[in-house]
Every structure is written in structure tokens, then in C-alpha cells.
Structure 1
Amino acid sequence: MADLSAFPITQRWPAQHPDRLQLYSMPTPNGVKIPIMLEEIGLPYEAHKVDFANDDQHSPAFLSLNPNNKIPAIIDPDGPGGQPLPLFESGAILIYLGDKSGKLLPQDPAARYRVMQWVMFQIGSVGPMFGQLGFFHKFAGKEYDDKRPHDRYVDESRRLLGVIDGQLAQHTWLAGDEFTIADIAVFPWVNGLLNFYGAGDLVGIDDFPHVSAALAAFLARPSVQKGIEIPA
């Protein structure tokens, strides 16, 4: 049985199944990526809820695993060389799990980099822009008198949706005709933009039919239907 006692986070969230991958997350656009991936590849895991309402992400226990106080984070008890591996940042975790499982991340170098460019596209553009739009549209940002930031994020989110729509006009999924970690990275944010932030009309989602169709296909996957609710 794996010994995870060296990780302080396990004192706050004890591992009932220490031989399984330990996931620390919450159902947010970033937080659901990893449970969706784990459901897709069939790797056993144990989920722990990092509750923002309790400020868990700023607790010393969580910061011991991710000093950047963001979800998700993991401990894989069976990491490289059979040693436990702590890891944070959803993009890094997706790539790691793709390599570990040999699934959803091609081994062919050219295909691999085509996938990874879309993962980086989400990390560098989609997440930050959609997240800021959500702040200004749904949360405290709507109280600001200066509407320039709000309009800036609306325009940029529309531009990014156009990029995604153009790619999906030519391919079933973002990196081609196969479902990959690129789709797991991007579509939770599209779903969040429309169904959590309620910004579909604001960004004119009807102008992006290929995005809407691919999102529907994404949400129909059993792994996604389960993963978006974890940790409950």
C-alpha cells in the first residue's frame, strides 16, 4: 500500500484509498478537466473537494501541494519510477495522464504537438479571457462604471470562439477527428461561459454553430456527464 504520509495535504484530506490517484478539486471549468480525463482513461482515483466557500484553497494543507492556491492538483502514488508524484496546473496534469495512460495524447510527434498547441491555446487565451468575462458579466465586475474592461473581454471572447469555430468547421474535434486532451481542456470553459456565466447571448453564440455542435457532443459523453459533477 502506498504511503502518502509525507504529503501534509493528506492530513487535511485523508486518503481512504492511498493506492489510487488522489484528486483535489472542485466543479469549475478548470476543476472538472481532470475528473473527466480520469473517467475517460479509466484510472482509479479518489476525489477530495477543495471548498472555495471555506477558503480551502488558501489553507496551509492545500498550499503544501499547490503554492499557487489553484485547483486542480493531484498526487499519483504510482508516479515515475513507482514513486509518488505531486502535480498541479490542469494542463500539466492532462499531459501527464495522457502519457501515463497512452490515451488521448498521440505518441506520433506531429500529432502530439497539434494536440498540445490547442491545450496551450486554452491555458493562455480561453481560460483567462472567458474567466474575466465571467467576472465582469456575472460577479462583482458588473458594478464597475467603466465598461471598457467588460467590452474588451466580450470582444476577445468572441474572437476566440471564432478561432474555435473555424477549426471545428474542418474537423470533428479541435486537434483533428479524434477526441483528445485538447477538447478536455477547452470545452469545460465553453460550457462554463454559456451555462455558468450565462454569457451565450452576450457573445452571440448563435454565430458559432460548430462550437455549439461540438459542445453538445462533448456534454453527451458519459465521462463528461460524470466528471463535471466531481467532486460532489
Structure 2
Amino acid sequence: MGSVQFHTSAAILAQTRSIPCQTLHANPRRPQLSKRNTRERSISASAEAPSSTNSCNETVVLGKSDVQVSSIGVGAWSWGDRSGYWGWEKGYDKSDCEEAFKSCLASDLTFIDTAEVYGFGLSEELLGAFLENAASQVADDQLPAPVIATKFAPIPWRFTKGSVVAALRSSLDRMQVPKVDLYMQHWPGFPVVNSWAEERFLEGLAECYKLGLTRAVGVSNFNEERLRRAHAFLSER
């Protein structure tokens, strides 16, 4: 098998000759919505999505992989968020999220980004249910196939490459899918750059790719120094 297909969603990346990575925005801000009309705005936003932009029809290839994503992605942090931050089941619920999901696909906005920490796994479970419900329409070409990304949390007790593989298998179980298109480390796990544990996380990503559990791997919220080290480390595997 060739080198690991690497992607970054870190917000910082200089233009170079040798690193053809794409970036996603990091650290989103929560919209300030009043409790009274949060639900109405949520539904309205999803309904208006098809006419809001033409950028969804454009696709981007992730690095040297064969993974193509819509140039705009959808973050699923708020789907099932049980922290109280977004107002899950107060201003919106599962049906609203599924409506937004279908509206995105209908608009060719197919890149969906989730994580194991979103809703403590509920975001992935909801996405899995939405994927299953839309499967027949995707098979009949009534809707385009979604491209799924998820992320693992570099928690202190997760410091072996096997633990990263186990985390992805758990995510796949929650989403009821055999593989994802992109698997990422959610944030740098330790303050020391190039630490032993950081390398184990990257080895875990490489192992996930080699096992066929993901089509590409990457990192999220890394600064430029960490990003370049991660890219160099994974390029050798």
C-alpha cells in the first residue's frame, strides 16, 4: 500500500511546494439566537440552503487521495449536543437535524464532519440513522452520496496506536458504516510537540488507513509546526 493519505483541518497552512493539503475553519462561534425563535430559524436555515450558494457544486480533492468533498462542509457538533451549549431538544431536535441533513445533500453539500465527542457519541449515532434513512434515495441517485469525516479525542489514557483504531471502530459502530472517508485527530493531545504520545496517535491514524477503516486521515486544530511534523511523520508510513 502507498503512503498514508493525509488531510488537515487546521486553520494555519502556508502555501508550499510539497504539501497539497486543504483546510477547514476551526473554533466556530455559536450563533446568538433567542430561545423564542431558535426553532423557526433552524428550520428556515435548512429550507433556504439550496439557494444560498452555488459553492456546494464545487468539489475539492483532499491532498493526494481519491476523496472528493464539497467545497463547503457541514459541522455536526450541534447534532445531539448534550452539553447544553447549542440547545439540543430545547430549540431543535432530531427531526430538525435530519431535515437539515437532507437539505444539504439535495444542495450537493455532501461533506459532513462529526466527532466522537459531539454529544458524547450521539452526533455520530444520529448521522448513522440519517445515512440509513437516506440510503435508498442515494442508491437511486435521488440524492448524492455523503462524504463522512469524524475525529477522535486525544484523551490522556488513549496513548497507543491500538487505542486510536479502537476509537474509530466505536465510531463506525455508532454510525453503522464499515468505513469513513476521513478520520482525524481532533486537537493536539499534549503541550510538547513531537512527544512520544503524539507519534502514537499518528501511528494509530496510519493503522486505521492501512486496515481500510478510512480512505484518508488528517489532523484538526494543529498549528503550523505540529502540522508539518504530522505530515512528515505520516508521509513515511
Q: Normalising by structure 2, report the TM-score.
A: 0.31
Structure with more helix by fraction:
1
Q: Normalising by structure 1, report the TM-score.
A: 0.32
